Chains A and B, each alone.
Chain A
Amino acid sequence: MWRYCLRRILQLIPIIIGVSFLIYFLMDIAPGDIVLLKMGDNNMTAEQIEALYEQYGLNQPLPVRYLKYMGRLLQGDLGISQATGEPVMDMFMARIGSTARLAIASVLVSIIISIPLGIISAVHDGTVIDNVASFGTLLGLSIPNFWLGLVLIIVFSLKLGWLPSNGDDGTIKSLILPAITIGTSLTAALGRTTRSSMLDVIHQDYLRTVRAKGASEKIVIWKHALKNAMIPILTVAGEQFAGVLGGSALTETVFAWPGTGRLLIDSINGRDVTTVTGLLILKTLIGSVIILIVDLLYAAVDPRVRARFANSGRRKKK
């Protein structure tokens, strides 16, 4: 088990290096660096420009700058924002709370709706109920997130006046619309996963045994079947949580949600390359780490997964 954890964590390292280099490289070729920004309209001599490049370390080759950047990243330093003059890390930390609350709320919405929906769909496989539910999830997958957000704002904020249309005032009320917006697309994906995962389990022999010993259908489905169908469901839910934590830029923009996604969009519009680079790397890192944690968690919870690694460990020792 520990060997497995260690291997998975080690596997993450090359991915982190690759991802951060890719993003750093991409942002490096982005037009308009900080020196051009500083130069602005004032006429500078070539020496002055040269000095500025040296001051920001931009005269060094890309790999050197990347290594220095990563060295500072490991110490939690992502550089200083060109737009605000604040450390990028501080800007990120100030906003991650809002994004995290939105992510938790969206995934909760998704789980609460999609697991019952998927199970009902699987139990009634091929019937009208299943067809309606399947079409519903496909519809949910097809609605552009940001548009759903706008429609919800039009209906519930502007016409009915029930819920606030933008901002995060720390209450549940301001969380409802953005969480439903993101939750809808997550529900669609998670509902489909639940359905197919349940269908895989539902015809297995052990369920017949459970029925034979006289358990009610409710117990059979919700206790015995669901337990075994849970792994893919949890994996997808974990990926979704990681995804929202990293990339709900659109919904956050639509609802003026003061999270990291909106910070990213604002930084792109303000040509704030340092912030964009830092945010992209950080978001990808957090996403990968969460997916890893979910993987490790179910390896810890599920005896079948555990047994597989215990065996492979023993074989290696021989």
Chain B
Amino acid sequence: MNQNTVSSSESVTKKYKKRSQFAEIWRRFKQNKGAMVGLFVVFVIIFIAVFADVLFDYDTQVTAMDIANRMKEPCMEHLFGTDEMGRDIFIRVLYGSRASLSVGAMATLIGLIVGMTLGCIAGYFGGAIEDVIMRATDICGSIPHILMGIAIVSALGVSTMNLILALGFTSISSFVRITRAAVLTVRNQEYVEAGRAIGQSEAKIIFSHILPNCLSPIIVQVTLRIASAIVAASSLSFLGLGVKPPSPEWGALLSAGRTYVRTKPYMTLFPGLAIMVTVLAFNLVGDGLRDALDPKLRK
């Protein structure tokens, strides 16, 4: 952002000081074109994922074999071509958004709930309990995420549920660290002191004074985590440690297409593009949110 827009946005801020915080954040977010495009793409993908079973029939269009039409190159009828069983790759990629998005979102949700709770406890109460939580976090955080995911899935068995658990577990440590750091900066603020002075309970202080003021970095982390969870989920599925065929998932589609990479490269091209576009969209939104939520952090 150049000097010009900075000063104009300051004058705008003065003019609209009464606007709610949310409106102010949204106004800053809107200025970031990349983030807006990302947000639009995210909405489109969520829409497709939610209505996938309305748009396509799972049994006849997504998983049913059609040997007469196998391995067709992309054409008007089959935009992305067909796979080794004659299934339309375009439909399977669109339907695959369901698995990829829900795994990414569920895993992040697990990481968020557990990580935020632990981070909050560590940051607010401190002392021995903080040491225990942070040491445990250090231990889990020092195992490379993808290796940890591989270890958990191979220990618990290959299934979508275990994939979600594995990815959720690996994302806990980053949420603990971020929440704790945010709580530490807020904990000794005067409004927290004030809450304590009028005799509010610990729970009330944490939920109504501390957490709302820690949300910015957590929200940003959620978007970025969903992006990396989608990549991790497709990676594990690609290795055969995630969503099982015949259900369409982008990593599993890639893995299936890999067998025919010499003769039918389009089979690997499109599922990968889907992952890239989705992850890029979430990353754009995450970056935009970071700038919009905390203009001071903008570098």
Contact = CB atoms under 8 A, between A and B. Distances in A.
Interface of A: 14-15, 18-19, 22-23, 26-27, 29-31, 126, 135, 138-139, 141-148, 150-151, 153-154, 158, 195-196, 199-200, 243, 246-247, 249-250, 253-254, 264-265, 268-269, 276, 280, 283-284, 287-288
Contacts of A199: 299
B276 interface: yes
Nearest to A153: B261
Contacts of A265: 150, 239
B179 interface: no
B269 interface: yes
B284 A138 contact: yes
B140 A31 contact: no
A30 B2 contact: no
B138 interface: yes
Contact of B155 (A29, A135, A288): A29
A126 B234 CA distance: 34
A22 B2 contact: no
A142 B142 contact: no
Contacts of A142: 227, 231, 276, 279-280, 283
A29 B156 CA distance: 7
Nearest to A273: B154
Interface string B281-295: 001100100000000
A26 B152 contact: yes
A269 B241 CA distance: 9
A31 B91 CA distance: 36
30 contacts: A18-B135, A18-B138, A26-B152, A26-B155, A27-B155, A138-B280, A139-B280, A141-B279, A142-B280, A144-B231, A144-B251, A144-B279, A146-B238, A150-B254, A150-B268, A151-B268, A151-B269, A151-B272, A153-B261, A154-B261, A158-B262, A195-B299, A246-B147, A249-B146, A249-B147, A249-B150, A253-B239, A276-B154, A284-B143, A288-B142
A255 to B, nearest CB: 12
Contact of B140 (A22, A196, A253, A288): A22
A23 B139 contact: no
A151 to B, nearest CB: 7
Contacts of B209: none
Chain A, interface SS category: helix
B265 interface: yes
B34 A135 contact: yes
B126 interface: no
B155 A138 contact: no
Interface of B: 1-2, 34, 135-136, 138-140, 142-144, 146-147, 150-152, 154-157, 227, 231, 234-235, 238-241, 251, 254, 258, 261-262, 265, 268-269, 271-272, 275-276, 279-280, 283-284, 287, 299
A200 B299 CA distance: 8
A154 B262 CA distance: 7
A22 B258 contact: no
Given A19-B143, A145-B235, 8 more contacts: A15-B139, A26-B151, A138-B284, A139-B276, A142-B227, A150-B254, A250-B146, A284-B144
B200 to A, nearest CB: 37
A92 to B, nearest CB: 14
A190 B91 CA distance: 37
A106 B238 CA distance: 22
A151 B239 CA distance: 17
Nearest to A277: B151
Contacts of A141: 279, 283
Given A138-B287, A144-B276, A153-B261, A31 B157 contact: yes
Nearest to A135: B34
B151 A146 contact: no
Nearest to B235: A250
Contacts of A196: 299
Contacts of B155: 26-27, 29-30
A148 B241 CA distance: 20
Contacts of B275: 144, 147
Contacts of A283: 144, 147
A154 B279 contact: no
A31 to B, nearest CB: 6
Contacts of B261: 150, 153-154, 158
B299 A150 contact: no
Contacts of A288: 142
